[in-house]
Amino acid sequence: MDAILLDFEKAYGSHPNVTFVTQASNHDLDKYKPSIKISKDESSIEFYIDIHLLNPIDPSIDAALIVAKADTKISFNVNDELLLWGTIQELKLSIIDFQPYYKTATTIDVINAKLTLVTPLMEAYANSLLDNGWKLPLPRNITKYILRQRVEARDGYLLIDGDADFTK
């Protein structure tokens, strides 16, 4: 907790287990609308995360709400099992809103400065999740005939194709 908020323990005391709840931002979808941009030069996914720091005395209410913006540069690929997977080449995280429910010296700038230290770890973790891929929705009796699968980023969409060989 001290790594994020400068003076949390002044308000709440020392607690061994402080709960963070992280979820896709949903409290202002007009303002924090996720987007996916796919182009042949560079694809990106931009989304917002709500981080609720629960009050250790009464976990039913927040001690603070942090809204973070994640901006990723990503490439896509498809493997022989027709799994679509991605690799994040760059992850930028920034805090865009901070609503503490107590008096604190912590600011958005302070949290952003500390966030730069953990961003590479979060990028590595996200890439490990993407390694599992997503099974493309194709009938099983067709997939065995598709060879040399390819994925190509075009302007606004992914083109996934392969060569068919029905002589198997």
> Could you tell me the two tokens for 102?
């107590």
* Predicted confidence pLDDT, tens digits, the chain (168 residues): 667 788 888 888 887 778 888 888 876 777 888 888 998 878 999 999 998 999 888 889 999 999 999 999 998 888 777 788 889 999 999 999 999 998 898 999 999 998 888 899 989 998 998 888 888 777 778 878 888 888 888 888 888 888 888 887
* Nearest Cα residue to 57 out of 102, 6, 24: 102
| pTM exceeds 0.85 | no
DSSP-assigned states of every residue in 121-142? HHHHHHHHHHTT-EE----HHH
How many beta carbons lie within 10 A of that of residue 106, not counting itself? 17
Non-local CB neighbours of 110 within 8 Å, separated by 6+ positions: 6
